[in-house]
Structure 1
């Protein structure tokens, strides 16, 4: 698990739900269980949504939502934060509850694991808040029941992810961690199911994550083309990032619509961010770095 965030006050704890980015995403085949076999290198941004929580003694889970993208979410039982809290509470037989506040800084349904990261951060938060012990394998299994990306988001470190998200291997790539990373979303969410439905079912080969150069030259996102067919503006985002001076790599993350660019230095990233924000004031732009542990 990542190092815990600092205590907010004597009774309140906080966690960051770090944005997830697929540096490469290779779709290999459809499995017998209906899920797609994926090969991906996950990295995590230093920034994301923020969760704070206070324990309660009545067993209730109360969720408050605010933040720039909070209006797009409901705090009902279907919310991934609520589902994660209830799942952990049930698994542990925990009688305590919590009041959780989610500050939604990341766009919804945008290919950077916002909901999955929120669920994972909720698990980390409540384990600390309730002061309970749970084995990492148990937490991973619980996370997988919540969604394919949730187990990787629990640790929020650079890792190779295969299967439908259940096979995780910490994977350092020289020169990758700590790189400046610019995230850009054109102001829309994209249906993952719709993008997968548009995938052409062609296996274009395995992922080689042996080096940064190989990831740049040979890596790909197999969902990029079907996402662009669904929402052509994604191509405009990629063109804007591709044209940025100092850009090492520009690619779409997940099933879109958020795209990212890696830069050699923060100054080049800042110039690109300013230019894109000026040219496209309706787009969401976030300057960050790849999280290092």
Structure 2
């Protein structure tokens, strides 16, 4: 018995931080969507009471550091299950990139175990479980386009954004999300127009969507990692319709309607970054190919 799940990467079309909460988390308002860059998760039922993580990638931990492991353990503990699972992760999303690769793996594990073990949980129940694992997991459970609020766990689904190409470049640097948030000065930050982004998506207005991309964390990351700014400038000079950093970075993405221009941006970055991708925007539930 086994099931397969696709775990797509996410990008932030808009990321705003409103204030720091009493619980030390930040209140956020983010418009996120999925792209056709995805890990593939295979879950196999085990009769023995254990969780096994397997992957060909050396960047994937096989213990509780892995969010997919935590997701499986949470399901077992919550519902008192003694059966086990072997989780194979075919890694395509770069790690520590601001693309929610680990969160998407955890979300795919929740969806997959719901099917594998016939739990009958609703998408809302799975998203509530996801919120206990990480801030982006609830969004990734929905696997669509959405406004995420609170810590990221309050999800309002949106229509898919206007279709386009997405070119991503992930530099070989590590960025600490905690450090970026600690250095964010909300009194002096430029807040993106989340409402305008939502309206652009609902009205399927590509140019308006491009005009309203924004990430309040971008200037903080750029101040510490100038390479992020260099990648942005390279994309802009190559003709991108919009350029933005995803999450706390360091991945930068560009939105492009024309495939020839997307190819030009992709090729211009190949000597600049080792990890460069050219994919389509998704924004809707994506079944396995």
1:79 matched to which residue of 2? 66
Deviations 1:196-245 (A, max 9, x none): 11212235445222114444334411101111122211111111111123
1:271 matched to which residue of 2? 264
Gaps of 5+ in 1: 1-10
Of 210, 214, 221, the match for 1:216? 210
| Number of aligned residues | 275
- Runs of 4+ aligned residues of structure 1 deviating over 3 Å after TM superposition are 203-206, 212-215
Hey, what's the Cα distance between the residues in 2 that align with 1:274 and 1:115?
28
C-alpha contact (below 8 Å) 1:177/1:291 kept by paired residues: no
SS at match of 1:159: strand
* 1:243 is aligned to 2:237: yes
The within-5 A match list for 1:84-233 is 84-172=71-159, 176-202=161-187, 204-205=190-191, 206-208=193-195, 209=197, 210-211=199-200, 212-233=206-227
Hey, what's the Cα distance between the residues in 2 that align with 1:213 and 1:266?
16
Hey, what's the Cα distance between the residues in 2 that align with 1:271 and 1:163?
38
SS at match of 1:18: strand
Identify which range, 194-203 or 57-66, moves more after superposition.
194-203
Deviation at 1:292, TM superposition (A): 4.2
SS at match of 1:86: helix
* 1:254 is aligned to 2:247: yes
Hey, what's the Cα distance between the residues in 2 that align with 1:226 and 1:204?
11
Deviation at 1:249, TM superposition (A): 0.6
TM-score of the pair, normalised by structure 1 = 0.89
Hey, what's the Cα distance between the residues in 1 that align with 2:74 and 2:253?
33
Deviation at 1:110, TM superposition (A): 0.9
C-alpha contact (below 8 Å) 1:64/1:102 kept by paired residues: yes
Gaps of 5+ in 2: 201-205, 285-289
1:287 matched to which residue of 2? 278
1:6 matched to which residue of 2? none
RMSD: 1.7
SS at match of 1:71: coil
2:14 matched to which residue of 1? 24
Of 10, 33, 56, the match for 2:46? 56
TM-score of the pair, normalised by structure 2 = 0.90
